[in-house]
Every structure is written in C-alpha cells, then in structure tokens.
Structure 1
C-alpha cells in the first residue's frame, strides 16, 4: 500500500510544502515549525512568528536538508525531521542517553497531514528519512519513540512515533530513557546503516 508514496529531501524549492506541513494558518502565529528539538531552548524561544519560518527556509537552503517530505502524487502528505544528533539538543540531553560514541543521526519528528492519516504514510516517511541520512554518511539512525505497547497515543504527542513503527522500519531497541511523552516511556531505537547502506 505505501509504495504509492514518494519521499524527497526538504530542499529550498520544496519550502512551500514544508510550510504546508509545519507552518501556521496565520503567518504571524508562533508555532513549533519542528524547531523545538532542533535548537537550544533559549534560541527556540527567541524566534517568534514569521522568524521561525524564515529560519526553516534557511535550513532548507543548506547542503543537507532538515528532513524529508512524503508525497501522494503532487500533494505533500508527510514530514520527518532527521539530522546528526551532535547538532541537536539531544546531544546534551540528560534524559535520553548516548549509547556509544557512534556519530548517529536522529529522526525525532514524524508528521502526517490531517486528512491523510491512517493510510500507511508513516512507514515510508521514516524509511525515507533513514535513506536520506544514509546518503549523507550517517552510520546509524536513532529515534526516541514511545513504548506504548499498543495503547492509544494522544495525537498531539504522536510526532515522536511508536516503538512498533520504528521496529517495522528495521530499528531495534538499544536503551531505555528517562523521558516520558504523552504518559508513555520513550526508548532509544537504532538502525545501523553501514551493513545495509540504508537500503
């Protein structure tokens, strides 16, 4: 079913689609724009309203895109953030442990556009993020989803993903964390790419 969806890097020419996935309906509103886990808290709080979108536009113009977008035909339907952990606040997290010194990338936000949920988009989206990380030299990708054991996850907290989703994408649990999301414990899931070349 999910073979119908294509996943592409969130490059500058696709910024309008990034804005569709992450931006507010009112351009002056201050929303996450998927920056709250990309930037240190103080810097994230200092970016208000349109400044957040401008920052993401700049990210999309860099050599390595800040994430990937899923498409159903020409319509954008999903977003996944992926970047080297060393560049993220996760690098200094006291709640999510470092398993070892491997320079892993992190995939920490998976979002499906309202009206398109329940169609099997999250798996190809996550797989696309892994593939993009591998193409840019990542030796492994980590995620920090909830271990909800099949219980319903509140939609506002669902962006972290579930352990089952990451397992379907070839990840294995490598550590527990002290982090809780939506009332569920989060775990460190990892997929090594050196052996499978992100295939």
Structure 2
C-alpha cells in the first residue's frame, strides 16, 4: 500500500512512495547485474560490519529478500507509475551499524530511526525524487511509531558531491524536509563533513 500522513500515501504528480516489501523492485534499485557479485545491497549500514563482510554473492540478496518479508521492511521505494525509480534505506537505528558507530554520536536515548541511503535510478535524476523518498521515509518511520528520525548527510555547502558518494544526501536536502542539525560528527565523506540531522516525530 502507498504511504500517507494518515497511513497511506505520499504523492506529487506521478511519484508514489511505498514500503519496500517487493523484493524484485528492491533488487532493481540496489542489486547487482550478476547474482554472484559482492555489491552492497544497502547492507553495509543495515547489518553489523562482521556479518556484512562475511556475506558473499547470492547470500546477500537472499538476506535482503528475507528482510523484505519482515515488518517493517528494509526501506521505501519510489514509483513513477508502475516503474520503480528510487530507494531509501530506513530502519530503527538500534538494528543498524549506527547503533555502534563511534564517529556518529547519539543525541539522546530515544529509539530513533535512521535513514542512511537515498538512491534515484539513472535516467530519473534531477526530478526531485530524492525529496519524495526522504518525505516517504519520514512517513514510514512515523507510521511505525518512531519518536524521531535521523540522517547523516554531507554538509557540502552547495559544492558538487561525487555521484557515488551522494547516497547519504546533503544537508540542504534534509533541511528542506524539516530536519535540523542536531550534532556534528567525526565522519567525512568525499572530503565533506557529515552532520547529524534530526526530525522529531512525537
């Protein structure tokens, strides 16, 4: 079902954001062309580092398929009509590597959710889909009872971010979604400092 402020839908024009429970669509966004390839599958932050390193080839996709059947699933997907065009990884921080990340601080003891990856399919970039994905991630977290949601984007001050590193988002993207800076971090990506952006949902 699509997402909404009332438990249903985020949409503008043709873009719709839904929970990532359809494995084939998640695979289209974050899976490899070859099933035996050791690509991320958006697992590097989702599971402990040791487990992430141990998972090889097809086992990575098998784990994601299992996560897609869980409640909550591992994130949200953006659709343009019937075509999947975007992905955002979002989940309770306690079940991610951010629970133990020494470079990114904990602001308080709330059981916050984290959004750590925002990805738009090639050919669909520059259409504002990342904004829909972040908005959808917020609604998804709220609908599952999250008291707050965090992101850890780069503070690039308008400078260009390398496309391969842009998945964390920018401070400006999060600010437009209503997030505010809650803390500095010791993490640096593509030469830019990452900041902890927070949105209270209570």
Band of TM-score, shorter chain: over 0.9
Match of 2:59 in 1: 51
Question: How far does the alpha carbon of each residue in 1:52-78 deviate from its partner, in whole angstroms, 9 at most, with x for none?
Answer: 000000000012111000000000000
Could you tell me how far apart the structure 1 residues matched to 2:101 and 2:33 are? Answer: 32
Q: Is the 8 A contact 1:148 1:185 kept in 2?
A: yes
Q: Which runs of 4+ in 1 moved over 3 A?
A: none
Report the TM-score, using the length of structure 1 for normalisation.
0.94
Match of 1:97 in 2: 105
Please say if 1:182 is aligned against 2:184: no
Structure 1: tracts of 5 or more residues without a match:
195-199
Report how far residue 2 of structure 1 moved. 4.7
Match of 1:143 in 2: 151
Could you tell me how far apart the structure 2 residues matched to 1:78 and 1:39 are? Answer: 21
Could you tell me how far apart the structure 2 residues matched to 1:3 and 1:77 are? Answer: 14
Please say if 1:114 is aligned against 2:106: no
User: In angstroms, what is the RMSD of aligned CA positions?
Assistant: 1.0
Could you tell me how far apart the structure 1 residues matched to 2:118 and 2:13 are? Answer: 18
Match of 1:87 in 2: 95
Q: Is the 8 A contact 1:146 1:184 kept in 2?
A: yes
Report SS of the residue matched to 1:95: coil
Report how far residue 103 of structure 1 moved. 1.0
Match of 2:16 in 1: 6
Question: How far does the alpha carbon of each residue in 1:154-198 deviate from its partner, in whole angstroms, 9 at most, with x for none?
Answer: 00000000000000111000000000011100000001111xxxx
Question: How far does the alpha carbon of each residue in 1:101-152 deviate from its partner, in whole angstroms, 9 at most, with x for none?
Answer: 1111000000001111111100011100110000000000000000000000
Match of 1:20 in 2: 28
Match of 1:154 in 2: 162
Report how far residue 4 of structure 1 moved. 2.6
Number of aligned residues: 192
Of the three residues 69, 72, 83, the one matched with 1:61 is: 69
